[in-house]
Chains A and B, each alone.
Chain A
Amino acid sequence: MGNYFLQRLAGTIPVLLLISLLVFLLIHAAPGDPTLMLLGEETNAADIAKAKERWGLDQPIYVQYLKFLKSAATGDFGKSFKYAEPVIHVIKTRLPATIELAIVAIVIATLLAIPLGVWAGARPNSWIDNLGTTFGLFGISMPSFWLAIMLILLLAGILNLLPTSGRSTYGVAGPEQTGFYILDSILQKNWPAVWDALTHIFLPALALGVNMLGILMRITRSSILEVMNEDYVQTARAKGLREKNVVWRHVTSNALIPVITVVGLELGTLLSGSIIVETVFAWPGSGSLLITALNARDYPLVTGIVMTYTLAFVAINLIIDGLYAVVDPRIRY
């Protein structure tokens, strides 16, 4: 099994190299000049030349790429044009917000989807199944950013219940430790700040998680349906177990394997969904940072974020494959 993962790991390296080349070329060849965007149209030629020299833009593109590769190999993605700080550092300050959002989104999605899916799958064609299936279909078809807008409109605008932008109210949260506001506030036992962070994260996380909710619900349902026909379920029933125990103990634990894969697969969608949901909610994460960086043609920052996302995506897929073997001991690599 160890060998298999080493092989997989080695296999991802050429893929990552190709992706970095692709992104690097696309971004550098995109119309728009970062020097003009950051320094303004009226800057004189000498200043522009100086900026280009400092950012290494005066060199041929392949030299720039090789330089990028060389430093990227040591974990250095260069300096952001816009923030004049190392890209890694800029991303590091923004990434916890995105990860926190993604985790809460997954939690909301799984907490709702799995019970719904189990209920629906355990009683096929009942009213609860029809309701659950319809709900799942709605979740899948919902454009998350539109749901975001509608949630703002309804819960925040009309009912005035929840905040609509940012991660916390100014002055409530204590100093940052981990960058995860909920965790930070719990560590500092600052309960009002925990509540504040939760109210801020709820709407964006709900909007982000809705597609995953729909998909998970459907996968859980069909997986349950399949397991219900297995012999050991009959055995459990024959033993005289109550239906509730049969469903939750014997069926659900076996039906959750495909669900894990889907959670993993959907993480990628979640990452890209965060780009757009963060923009709607002014959530200071790496997704909205990407759009800012892209508009400023901040080459190193864009490349850095895209590479971070891709790395995360590839890593998640590897981990999911590993988890698969843990959950189902029959699977050997």
Chain B
Amino acid sequence: MQSLTLESATDKSAGALPRLLPRLHVKAFTGGVIVLVFIVMGIIGPSVAPHDPNKQELTAMMKAPEGIGTPHVLGTDNLGRDVLSRVIHGSRVSLLVAFAVVFVSGFVGIALGAISGYFGGKVDFLIQKLVEVIWAFPPLLLGITIMAFLGQGLFNLILALVAQRWIPYCRVVRGQTLSLRNRDFVTAAQCLGASNRQIIVRHIVPNLIQTSLVIGTFAMASSIIAEASLSFLGVGVPPDIPTWGTMLADARIYISTSWWMPLFPGLCIFITVLGINLLGDALRDMLDPRLKRSGAKI
């Protein structure tokens, strides 16, 4: 019996590993390529885009895509603007917003989470109350309310998205810090006379980076969708800045006549988010299997 179970156990692990590895690589590779393509598109795309994204060609309004080699490969919109150029320029703005949101909310969330977990007591109570209040808002609703207050704008949009997205970092980081602060290396640092700030920055935060990276990828995916949603509702980016969301908002009333207007920007959002999610999945499987098992949706 003993040998039987042992045998089957080794069998399983020997079979599972090679099966798991390529799967992980496929995920990471596909996701990485997709994200990279869009990042490159965002960086160098605008300088190679065929047209000015805001140039209105009134003689060529709502032209259907006619294939490669024609002046408007993906057609034109209701004001005669080139859809391809707008999609390319849109990638820059959409990704910029997403990156900004991820970094700012990551910074805020990790800092508050580490402080909350490390000091405990009143500070912890206050920060956790704030977390609770913001967490009680259905997502998007807080964004809409804040944008109504701030008004349309790129910077305002980033602010409104950060307002909710630092929460997952804060919650996870706090939990980890709670266990980290009793570890020997923290005690050792305290004995050596390190200040609280030094301990948090030098000793605790480096241990939080891996998990935060995973949270960051999912925050990035959700930021791209949230940016598009808010812009679509008319409370995000101002209409004159081409983003995937504003393009979809423009396309809304022309759905039945011009399929290419909503198709391409939406496809870009979908593929980008797909790529980021793939990357996030792979990252999570590699770095922190616990997150996967607990089914944590971040």
Contact = CB atoms under 8 A, between A and B. Distances in A.
Contacts of B33: none
Contact of B149 (A29, A149, A279, A314): A29
Given A26-B149, A271-B138, A275-B141, A145 B277 contact: no
A192 interface: no
Interface string A265-299: 10011011101100110000000001100100000
B263 A150 contact: yes
A23 interface: yes
A19 B141 contact: no
B132 A146 contact: no
B293 A226 contact: yes
Contact of B295 (A15, A219, A306): A219
B144 interface: yes
Contact of B228 (A31, A143, A272): A143
Given A19-B136, A143-B229, A313-B136, A272 B262 contact: no
A141 B297 contact: no
Interface residues of A, number: 53
A152 interface: yes
A61 interface: no
B233 interface: yes
A273 B293 CA distance: 27
Interface residues of B, number: 44
Contacts of B149: 26-27, 29-30
Contacts of B263: 150, 153
Contact of B137 (A141, A157, A276, A313): A313
B237 interface: no
Interface in B16-34: 19, 23
B97 interface: no
Given A27-B149, A143-B225, A219-B295, A149 B255 contact: yes
Interface secondary structure of B, over-half rule: helix
A143 B137 CA distance: 20
Identify whether the interface residues of A are mostly helix, strand, loop, or mixed.
helix
A102 to B, nearest CB: 12
A138 B281 CA distance: 13
Interface in B270-288: 270, 273-274, 277-278, 281
B274 A272 contact: no
A152 B232 CA distance: 16
Contact of B133 (A19, A290, A302, A309): A19
Nearest to A158: B259
Contact of A153 (B137, B232, B248, B259): B259
B151 interface: yes
Given A146-B269, A146-B270, A276-B232, A26 B293 contact: no
A125 interface: yes
A30 B270 contact: no
B292 interface: yes
Closest 6 CB pairs of A and B: A146-B266, A272-B140, A141-B274, A141-B273, A26-B149, A30-B149
Given A12-B136, A306-B141, 14 more contacts: A16-B136, A19-B137, A30-B151, A137-B274, A141-B221, A141-B270, A145-B228, A145-B248, A152-B255, A153-B263, A215-B297, A268-B139, A272-B140, A272-B141
